[in-house]
Amino acid sequence: MRIAVVASLCIVMLAACQQSSNTSVTRIRANGVDTLHSRTTVDNGVASFACIASSSGQCHYLVLDARCAKDKDCAYPPLHRLAVAVGKTEQMAGLPAGFQHCVSAVQKEQCHRE
C-alpha cells in the first residue's frame, strides 16, 4: 500500500513540474535551397526566435496581439519587430498569452502575403 501511495505522489509531482512549450517552424525552399528557415519556441512564457537560414541574412519577425490574424491586416500595431541574424537566437519574455507572430526574409509592415 505504501508503495502505491509513494508512486502516486511521484506521478502527481512530475505532472506539476511539467513545463508548457509550443514550437512553430517556418521553412520556405526554392530550387532545393532554404530561402527562409525559422524556429520559434515559447517555453514557460519565454519566446525564442531562431533564424536558421534566410536569403537576406536575417529573419524579420513581427510579434502580434493575440486578437490579430496572420493572414489579414490588423487594427492593432505589432507588439514587437525584430531582426535576427542567421545562426542567432533572440529571446523575449513577458509576451501576452496567445500572441501571434510571422517571419519573413525581408522586413514587412503586416504578416499577410502580398
Residue in the block written with cell 496572420: 70
Write out pLDDT tens, residues 24-70: 999 999 999 999 999 999 998 899 999 999 999 999 999 999 998 77
DSSP state string for the chain = -HHHHHHHHHHHHHHHHPPPEEEEEEEEEETTEEEEEEEEEEETTEEEEEEEEETTSEEEEEEE-TT--TTS--SSPPSEEEEEETT-EEEEE-PPTT-EEEEESS--SSSS--
What percent of the chain is modeled with pLDDT above 70? 80
> Which band of pLDDT confidence, cut at 50, 70 and 90, is reported for residue 15?
very low
Question: How is the beta sheet containing 33-43 ordered, strand by strand?
Answer: 21-30, 33-43, 46-54, 89-93
